[in-house]
Homo-oligomer: A and B are copies of this chain.
Amino acid sequence: MLFLIGLGLWDSKDITLRGLEIVKNSDAVYAEFYTSKLGVGVEELEKFFGRKIEVLKREDLEDKSYRILERAKKEDIAILVAGDPVIATTHISLLIEAKKLGIPARVISNASIINAVCALTGLQNYRFGKSATVSWQKSRHFIDVIKANLSIDAHTLLFLDLNPPMKICDAVEKILELEESLGKHFAVGIARAGSDNPAVKCDRLKRLVEFDFGEPLHTIVILSRRIHFMEYKALKLFASAPEELSEWVV
């Protein structure tokens, strides 16, 4: 059987009891950190879980996934993924392949960055639209997503490239290169969500580069043009939002 297990947000203690039980009882434990990362290394997980963990590369779960699926026909295989396992669409492909081969598979869900962002900013989950990724490669798809969300008054969660981890200042530069008008728009920068020392700051997008968010992992939310009054109160208290954000409250 194949288990895709979410590790949650930051370190060894963010796994669920159900996930840990499977890790302890599986015949082999793998992990991948190319779609999502934790705040700690694999050595800490190995020590804490008391299991040897083999770290997989992208090709191991894509072109060469038959190797792992072959093992999962006879053994219980756990694959650990930071955050929630199916936020990355590549793992849905693996579930599809397993299903076709008649291999039972189960996903152990966990918190992903979207959960943490709402906890840290007070933004309301149901007001988020589609999410998108700001990558080091040239692509303006995320600009289209931001605009689509703005057209229906929805916030946009932007994942920042992980290879290597992109910082908020890099991402702001990329956004403004493609769409300068977004500079005046309000946004929230979030660093190290789920850790003991997160950083959260709301300001006009172009001003976020002046704030020291510290080490990755970083994320940005582009706010909808209308903010709920409760969101405004929360952003003032939790993200030091400037007074002028009040003009956006409906």
Contacts and interface: CB of A to CB of B under 8 A. Distances in A.
A153 B198 CA distance: 33
A143 to B, nearest CB: 14
A14 B22 CA distance: 12
Contacts of A194: 109
A114 B6 CA distance: 14
Interface in A62-119: 84-87, 89, 92-93, 95-96, 99-100, 107, 109-112, 114-116, 118-119
A242 to B, nearest CB: 18
Closest 10 CB pairs of A and B: A109-B111, A107-B119, A148-B152, A109-B115, A13-B18, A13-B17, A126-B131, A86-B118, A84-B115, A99-B237
A20 interface: yes
A87 B124 CA distance: 7
Contacts of A149: 129, 152
B109 A130 contact: no
A181 interface: no
Contacts of A93: 230
Contact of A99 (B4, B127, B151, B238): B238
Given A96-B237, A237-B96, A128 B125 contact: no
A111 B6 CA distance: 9
B13 A16 contact: yes
A122 interface: yes
A126 to B, nearest CB: 4
A130 B149 CA distance: 9
A133 B126 CA distance: 9
Given A130-B129, A152-B129, A12 B17 contact: yes
**Which of A89, A127, A237 is the most central at the interface, judged by chain B CB atoms within 10 Å of its CB?**
A89
B151 A89 contact: no
Contact of A92 (B8, B99, B124, B129): B124
* Residue among A87, A92, A107, A237 facing the most chain B CB atoms (10 A cut-off): A92
Given A92-B234, A109-B194, A151-B152, 17 more contacts: A6-B111, A8-B109, A12-B17, A16-B110, A86-B115, A86-B122, A86-B125, A87-B126, A96-B230, A96-B233, A100-B237, A109-B111, A109-B115, A109-B119, A112-B115, A128-B130, A129-B152
